[in-house]
Structures are given as C-alpha cells and as structure tokens.
Amino acid sequence: MRLTPGPRRAIDLDAVDLFDLDLYTAGDPHPIWDEMRERAPLHHQVLPDGREFWSVTRYEDVCRVLGDHREFTSERGTVCTHLGQDDVAAGTLLTSTDPPRHTEVRRAIGARLTARAVAPWEDRIRQSVVRFLEPALDGAPFDLAEQALLLPAIVTGPLLGIPERDWAELVQLTAMVTAPSDPHFQMGGEAATLAISHHELVTYVTDRVKRRRASGDTDGSLLDHLMSVHAGDAPLTDEEIALDGYSILLGANVTTPHTVSGTVQALIERPEQFDKAQADPTLIPNLVEEGLRWTSAACNFMRYAVDDVQIGGGTIPARGAVVAWIGSANRDASRFPDPHTFDITRDNAKRQVAFGFGPHFCIGAPLARLTLRIFFEELLQRCGSIELAGEPEHLRSHFIAGLTHLPIVAQERRTP
C-alpha cells in the first residue's frame, strides 16, 4: 500500500471496493479514505458473494468503535478475513473476547509487558539490533523488508521462551495468517494457507505446554507464564493457553517489521527528516510515533454492532460488521494537520492509534516502542546514508499494510 498518496482525484464511493487486494498491493487507498472521511464517514459495501460491512474512517468514530465493547463486540471476530463467518475461537481467544473476561486475562498477561517490566531488556534488545544491522551497513544491497520479518523474533524470542531454531518457521506461519493471499507466504489457496498456519501455530503452543507440564520445567518466559494465569477463580484451560499463546506470537511478529521498513522508506524519500533525526537524537521517540502513525501497519480491526448504532451520520444495524480503518484515522486532518506529510517533529504524533484503542489496545505496545526506539537509535548512529536499491514491493493484504521487499544500500557512518 502506498504510504505517500498520489494527487486527489474524483472517486465514485459507490464503486469503491475496500476488499480489493490490488488496492493495497499496487493501489492507493489514502485518497479513497480522504473522500470517505469528508463525504461518507459511514460507508456501506456489499461484496459480490452477499457479505456486507460498514466502514468508519474518521479518528473519532474509529476510537468509538474500538473503545466501546457495549456497542461493538469483539466476540464474533476482529479481523476482516473472518467476515461472514464467526470466528470459532471468539469468546476464548483474548483478542476476540470482551470485558470483563478479557480484562481479567489481559491484566495477568500484561503485567509482564509494562514499560517498567520490559525496561531491563534494553541492553539485550540493543545487542540484537546491532547484530541485525551489521550486514546492512557494508554497502551491498540489503532487503530490509525481507530481513526485518525476523527482527521481532530475534528480539522477543527469548522473552517468549522460543528457541532460535524455531524463529524462522514461526515468522513464516504468522505471516501466512495475516497475509494468506500474498504469493510470498501462500500455500495453496487463501483458505488452505489460513488453515495450515492456524493449525501449526496452535499445535506449536499446545505441544510446548504439554512438554513443560510433563517435565515440570519452566524458564519464566511469557508463554510459560500463561500456564499460571487465572481468569476469575479458574486457571486458563489448555485450549485458552494455546489460543492466547497463538495471539501473542501473532502480535509479536506481525506489525513491527512493517513499521520499521515503512518508516525507513519515509526517511529515504525525505532525507531532510533523516538528517534532522540524526542531528538531534532526542527526536527519535517522536520519530517512532510518527512512523507508527505513518505506516499504520495494522490497517484495520473489525467489530460487530450489538444493537442498532448511529455513528458517522448513519446507522449500523444490530449484528452488522463494522471495519474501523486505522490507516484512515491516523490521516484524519481534524487530528493531524497536514496528515500526508511525514514530520518527525509533529507535536501530537503520539495520539496515533496504530496500536488500537480501548480495551484491546496492543498489549505489547511498550515492548514494540522500546524495540523501535532502539532500532532507530542504532540505525541513525551507525548509518551515514541510505538509498533505495530497487523498487519496493507491497504486501498483498487488506489487514496488514506493509512491504515484502525494500532493497536498500546503506553506508556506515564515519565519525571524525
């Protein structure tokens, strides 16, 4: 998906297809979202197979849909790949569960992922990032988007208790879940890719739990911690542990790589922003926030209206599916003036909703922010220049906005 939109053009909103994968692979959805925010903040679309959904694109409406579980439930599925068929894990999987149960489980897991809890990992993360960057700084072509897919596993693998030998396979499986139509990750058709990846990921966590229980060994990792989590008075069942472990693996591996590659692309295209960040490292935390806003790697989330709901000047009927477009909310000019300008000095960049909003705000956000800050600190300290070495290629997905290829040539920074 293009992150820098083309010129404004006339758009027939009645003919728009937000489920057209070509729109995100080679197209330009931002002008469409601009028109929707202005003329149709609640947009209704019926797919050729009869499935239908409503879209909200304004910042305020996106926050309302994601923030109020009494009006918009997560318990029928939260990703648009499930549109038309309720998620079989809804009500059990953490991401597809409403409060109060969601809150009980989230609180127990989230205690291990607060900013204070992950702070001691800074040195280890920095060492991992330095090793990751070394081959990128020798002046030879380096595909940042392809290599960055492994970055979260390098960083969070030890935290999750995942041995290095499993990292590449798990990264591939999580990519298959989130982009089952992309030829880089597809195995057979889209349905087969989803079925295979879901089964393999759940089986991986299930087998790990069985081995831990049989041996009595634990390593203090986050996945082991799930075995001690209670929801109310009862411990999680093995099914809940497997599904929540699956969710944690997805969250750890999916969005950070695309935030990295999309933000680096923005810096390459705007060398004055690169120079500004390099000259003043105190801007790097804000660079991270602007990068999150700009890339909006988790492009949307889905909810279902509990009853008839008036929003965006219209009505979503009870049980209607509504897609909250994160990528649009983060370009809403009412919240972010001049929204299609990438500006690392933007004074309200942290108001971005790239991590979601409300009860389901990304549980791993503190770790993701820490990882991104360290990545750009090390990149800007070590890298003197970065140029594109080929055409970027975009992920074929309407759920994750990202890159599959970003060939770059980087030169190591020479200090006087």
Q: What is the pLDDT of residues 248-267, one digit of tens each?
A: 888 877 889 999 999 999 99
Q: Is the pLDDT score of 225 beyond 80?
A: yes
Cα distance from N-terminal residue to C-terminal residue, the chain: 40
Residue 394 corresponds to which tokens in the numbers above? 């975009």
Which amino acid is residue 357, in one-letter code?
A: F
Reported confidence tier of residue 315, pLDDT bands at 50, 70, 90:
very high
Percent of the chain at pLDDT > 90 equals 70
Q: What's the pLDDT at 43?
A: 98
Of residues 237 and 298, more confidence is placed in 298
Of residues 244 and 408, more confidence is placed in 408
Reported confidence tier of residue 220, pLDDT bands at 50, 70, 90:
confident
Instruction: Please compute the mean of the pLDDT values over residues 49-66 and round it to a whole number.
Output: 97
Reported confidence tier of residue 314, pLDDT bands at 50, 70, 90:
very high
**C-alpha span between 287 and 284 (Å, rounded):** 5
Is CATH 1.10.630.10 what the domain over 13-412 is classified as, yes or no? yes
Where are the extended beta strands (E) located within 261-406?
A: 300-305, 309-311, 314-316, 321-325, 383-388, 393-394, 403-405
Of residues 208 and 314, more confidence is placed in 314
Tokens 């027939």 belong to 12
Q: Is the pLDDT score of 49 beyond 70?
A: yes
Q: What's the pLDDT at 155?
A: 86
Q: What's the pLDDT at 404?
A: 95
Q: Is the pLDDT score of 415 beyond 80?
A: no
Sequence-separated contacts (24+) of 115-118 with Cβ below 8 Å? 115/366, 115/369, 115/370, 117/366, 118/159, 118/366, 118/367, 118/370
Q: Is the pLDDT score of 416 beyond 80?
A: no
**C-alpha span between 115 and 99 (Å, rounded):** 23
Q: What's the pLDDT at 193?
A: 93
Of residues 7 and 195, more confidence is placed in 195
Reported confidence tier of residue 242, pLDDT bands at 50, 70, 90:
confident
Average predicted confidence (pLDDT) for the chain:
92
Q: Is the pLDDT score of 280 beyond 80?
A: yes
Q: In which element (H, E) is residue 145 found?
A: helix 144-148
Instruction: Please compute the mean of the pLDDT values over residues 291-301 and round it to a whole number.
Output: 97
Instruction: Give phi and psi for 73, each to the nearest 5.
Output: -90, 150
Torsion of CA 97, 108, 355, 381, to 10 degrees: -160
Instruction: Please compute the mean of the pLDDT values over residues 12-16 and round it to a whole number.
Output: 94
pTM for the whole structure = 0.95
Q: What is the pLDDT of residues 77-109, one digit of tens each?
A: 898 888 888 888 877 888 899 999 899 889 888
Q: What is the pLDDT of residues 159-218, one digit of tens each?
A: 888 899 999 999 999 999 889 999 999 998 888 998 999 899 989 989 988 888 888 777
Reported confidence tier of residue 312, pLDDT bands at 50, 70, 90:
very high
Where are the extended beta strands (E) located within 307-379?
A: 309-311, 314-316, 321-325
> Is the CB of residue 362 less than 8 Å from the CB of residue 374?
no
> Is the CB of residue 28 less than 8 Å from the CB of residue 401?
no
Reported confidence tier of residue 363, pLDDT bands at 50, 70, 90:
very high
> Is the CB of residue 24 less than 8 Å from the CB of residue 395?
yes
Q: What's the pLDDT at 291?
A: 98
